[in-house]
A and B are shown apart, each in its own frame.
Chain A
Amino acid sequence: MHLLVQAVILGILIGGVYALMASGLTLVFGIMRVINVAQGAMVILGAYLSYTLFSSVGIDPLLSILLIAPVMFALGVGIHRVFIRALRAESGEEMSLLVTWATALAIEGVLSVTYTTNLRSTIPGYAQRSWIILGYRVAEVRVFGFVISVVILSALSLLLARTRFGRSVRATVQNPTSAKLLGVDADRVSALGFGIGISTAAAAGAVFGIIYPFNPGSHYDLISRLLSIVVLGGLGSLGGAVVAALLLGVGESVVAVMISPSWSSFVFFIVLIVILVFRPQGLFGVRERGAL
Chain B
Amino acid sequence: MGTALLRLQGVVAGYGRGDVLHGVDLTVEEGAVTCLIGPNGAGKSTVLKTVSGLLRPKRGRITLLGRDIGGLSPQAVLSHGVVHVPQERSLFPSMSVWDNVLMGGFVLRDRAVVRRRIEHIADRFPIVANRRHERAGSLSGGEQKIVEIARALMLDPVLVLMDEPSTGLDPRARQLVFHTITEINEGGRTVLLVEQNARSGLAIAHHGAVMESGRVRLEGTGSSLLADPEVARLFLGAAPANRG
In the assembled complex, the Cα of A291 lies from the Cα of B9 at a distance in Å of 41
**Does B84 sit at the interface, judged by CB under 8 A?**
yes
Set of chain A residues within 8 Å of B95, measured between Cβ atoms = 170-171, 174
Q: Choose, from A69-77, A92-100, A117-125, A175-183, the stretch at the interface.
A: A175-183
Contact B92 A177 (CB under 8 A): no
> Does any Cβ of A come within 8 Å of B239's Cβ?
no
Say whether, besides A171-B92, A171-B103, A175-B92, A183 and B78 are in contact (CB < 8 Å). yes
> A167-B103, A168-B106 known; A177 and B54 CB under 8 Å?
yes
Please tell me if the beta carbons of B93 and A181 are within 8 angstroms of each other in the complex. Answer: no
Q: Are A167 and B99 in contact (CB under 8 A)?
A: yes
A167–B92 Cα gap in the complex (Å)?
A: 10
**Which B103-133 residues have a C-beta within 8 angstroms of A?**
103-104, 106-107
The residue that B103 contacts in the complex, of A90, A177, A182, A292, with Cβ under 8 A, is A182
A287 → chain B closest CB, angstroms: 12
Asked if A184 is at the interface of the complex by the 8 Å CB criterion, the answer is yes
Max chain A Cβ within 10 angstroms of own Cβ: one of B16, B52, B106: B106
Please tell me if B224 contacts chain A, counting CB pairs below 8 Å.
no
B86 within 8 A of A: yes
Between B74, B84, B88, B91, the greatest number of chain A beta carbons within 10 A of the residue's beta carbon is seen for B74
- Interface centre among A175, A180, A181, A185, by most B CB within 10 Å? A181
Q: Contact between B103 and A181 (Cβ–Cβ < 8 Å)?
A: no
Q: Considering the complex, give the chain A residue whose CB is closest to the CB of B100.
A: A171
Q: Are the CB atoms of A181 and B99 closer together than 8 Å?
A: no
Q: Is the CB of A175 within 8 A of B91?
A: yes
Residues of A166-225 whose CB lies within 8 A of B: 167-168, 170-171, 174-175, 177-185
Q: What residues on B are CB-neighbors of A177 within 8 Å? A: 54, 86, 88, 90
C-alpha gap A292/B78 in the complex (Å): 26
Interface of A: prevailing SS? helix
Query: Do B106 and A291 touch across chains, with their CB atoms under 8 A apart?
Result: no
Does residue B40 face the partner (Cβ distance < 8 Å to A)?
Answer: no
Contact assessment for A178 and B86 in the assembled complex, using a CB-CB cutoff below 8 Å: yes
Query: Knowing A167-B99, A181-B84 touch, does A174 contact B106 (C-beta < 8 A)?
Result: no
* Most chain A Cβ neighbours within 10 Å, of B75, B91, B107, B151: B75
Given A167-B103, A183-B107, answer yes or no on A174-B74 (Cβ-Cβ < 8 Å).
no
Question: Which residues of chain A are near B74, meaning CB under 8 Å?
Answer: 180-181, 183
* Cβ–Cβ contact B54 & A181, under 8 A: yes
Q: Mark B58-94, 1 if CB is under 8 A from A, else 0.
A: 0000000000000000110011000110101011111
Contact flags (1/0) for A151-170 with B, using CB distance below 8 Å? 00000000000001001101
Chain A min CB distance to B37 (Å): 23
Given known pairs A170-B92, A174-B93, the reply for A182 and B104 (CB within 8 Å) is yes
Give every chain B residue within 8 A of A164 (Cβ-Cβ). 106
- List residues of chain B with CB within 8 A of the CB of A90: 16
Q: Which chain A residues lie closer than 8 Å to B84 at the CB level?
A: 181
The answer to whether A178 touches B92, judged by C-beta atoms less than 8 angstroms apart, is yes
Nearest-CB residue, chain A, relative to B52: A181
Partner of A291, one of B79, B93, B102: B93
Once bound together, how far apart are the Cα atoms of A101 and B79, in whole Å? 39
- Bound-complex Cα distance A175 to B94 (A): 10
Q: In the docked arrangement, what's the CA distance between A90 and B90, Å? A: 21
In the bound complex, CA of A175 to CA of B151 (Å): 15
Of A170, A175, A179, A291, most B-chain CB atoms within 10 Å: A175
Q: Let me know if A185 and B75 touch, CB within 8 A.
A: yes
Which A-chain residue is minimally distant from B79 (CB atoms)?
A183
Interface residues of B (CB under 8 A from A): 16, 52, 54, 74-75, 78-79, 83-84, 86, 88, 90-95, 99, 102-104, 106-107, 151
14 contacts between A and B (CB under 8 A): A170-B95, A174-B92, A174-B94, A175-B93, A177-B86, A177-B88, A177-B90, A178-B86, A179-B103, A181-B52, A182-B104, A182-B107, A183-B74, A185-B75
Q: A181-B54, A182-B104 are in contact. List 7 more A-B contacts (CB 8 A).
A: A90-B16, A164-B106, A167-B102, A181-B74, A182-B106, A183-B74, A184-B75
